[in-house]
Structure 1
């Protein structure tokens, strides 16, 4: 477990929670994807002000694991679930669900689909009405992700995800997540779309600019952007990823 010092205002909230004998809620398993494109830009969403968690904050696409992400095995390409389990130090079914959630959430929240007809290709433009209908059905949980892929003759391209880090929400927060962060390149032929719903604004910007204070964001987002800015480029970040331990949780503390 790695500790990360909270900003002063959040550190005081943590100390107050401890003084008052607060009982932390369990952290829900989640996945987040840092979409990258040349010339070294990251994709951010601003969550709407009415959201119960991280309202009005800039975040990466992501969200909680759906139970069906673990229950059904979709068509799969890239490292096998067992390999992901070893890399993330999780049970195989849990690792599979974390990877599925990453691919599903980035499609739901940005319109980008990390899947293809086979292990060597990626689907192209997915902005048409049929794709949009399916995306909305996924959000509503009327459609399972494995079923969605099967209907469209697609396999999940797990090799397009690069594990980066893991963050656990501080104990004083009423909503907590145990979140695995992944990097992914924007597939050729696809575009991010402002698909609304949980976000009211989207931005592509360099990691250094995004982390310089102009956007309101939680520590994990800002810290990840600073790490990417320090890497200096997409190739350098991807080259550094294998030497990181994406299973060693970072826990913000006072």
Structure 2
């Protein structure tokens, strides 16, 4: 089972001032969850455990307590969350050692570095050192932990994080694993899933419903979360094979 990290990028729309979350639709050619709408994220790279990664905010030891893992695993999960978000959306949760956050990641030089990270010719540690940046772990909030149901050929143990879109930065459609991107109100995403217009796996649906309950960016980022493993099961219900989540998990009804 591969450890993974995913990030719910959040902002409040300028038009109506309501909470929105960033979703990507995975291409139909993907081996895992093709055609599903997901948050930016992916599997941990072995180089994400690098002890030399430049870091600001709560240290790996503190994240180990929050995520209930060993310190090297905590470092890797946080690093993967930040790296994958940059790779899949162009948003970077990092800044200069003196403080602050990168204001803009557009331009040919940034795109070249992003592509090098995707192609694994550049490690995240090397990328930060090259640009004299530090990872900003304080911009992340631990949200939940979901484990792919038994029986799936590709299984992931995924930590979900929430993060506010850094001021000045913009998401961009970078292609690759996604063929569509959108900012949506979480409640609208759940409603579209209920109608059958938006395909999402249970972790994404549940997370959107939880965000909808928060109602605002400030409430979502201030939410106190208890992280525990959630492992759905595949069961036959009404003659059809369905994914069933454990009791107590607020999974919306379709």
TM band (smaller chain):
0.7 to 0.9
> Equivalent residue of 2:152, what SS?
coil
Point out which structure has higher relative CO (alpha carbons under 8 A, 6+ apart): 1
Which position in structure 1 is the counterpart of 2:72?
Answer: 93
Aligned length: 225
The correspondence for 1:250, drawn from 225, 230, 235, is: 230
2:31 corresponds to 1:52: yes
Deviation at 1:57, TM superposition (A): 0.5
Match for residue 220 of structure 1 among 194, 199, 203: 203
**Is the CA contact (8 Å cut-off) linking 1:119 and 1:155 kept in structure 2?**
no
- Unaligned stretches of 5+ residues in structure 2: 13-17, 236-254
Worse-superposed segment, 111-120 or 131-140: 111-120
Residue of structure 1 equivalent to 2:219: 236
1:220-242 Cα distance to aligned partner (Å, 9 max, x none): 000100011112212112222x3
Deviations 1:10-65 (A, max 9, x none): xxxxxxxxxxxxxxxxx200000000001300000000000000101100000000
Alignment of 1:1-254 (within 5 A): 27-38=1-12, 39-118=18-97, 120-212=99-191, 213=193, 214-240=197-223, 242=224, 244-246=225-227, 248-253=228-233, 254=235
Detail structure 1 runs of 4+ shifted over 6 Å in the superposition: none
Cα displacement string for residues 144-171 of structure 1 (whole angstroms, at most 9, x for unaligned residues): 0011000000000000000000000001
d(CA) in 2 for partners of 1:60, 1:42:
8
Whether the aligned pair in 2 keeps the contact of 1:42 and 1:205 (CA below 8 Å) is yes
**3-state SS, counterpart of residue 180 of structure 1:** strand
The answer to whether the 8 A contact 2:50-2:125 is kept is no
Shifted more, 205-214 versus 145-154: the winner is 205-214
Cα drift, residue 118 of structure 1: 2.5
Distance 2:208 2:129 in 1: 35
Structure 1: how far apart are the matches of 2:152 and 2:51? Answer: 31
Helix, strand or coil: the match of 1:183?
strand
Contact 1:72–1:146, Cα closer than 8 Å, also in 2: no
Relative to its length, the structure with more helix (as a share) is: 1
How far off is 1:119 after superposition? Answer: 5.8
Root mean square deviation of aligned Cα: 1.0
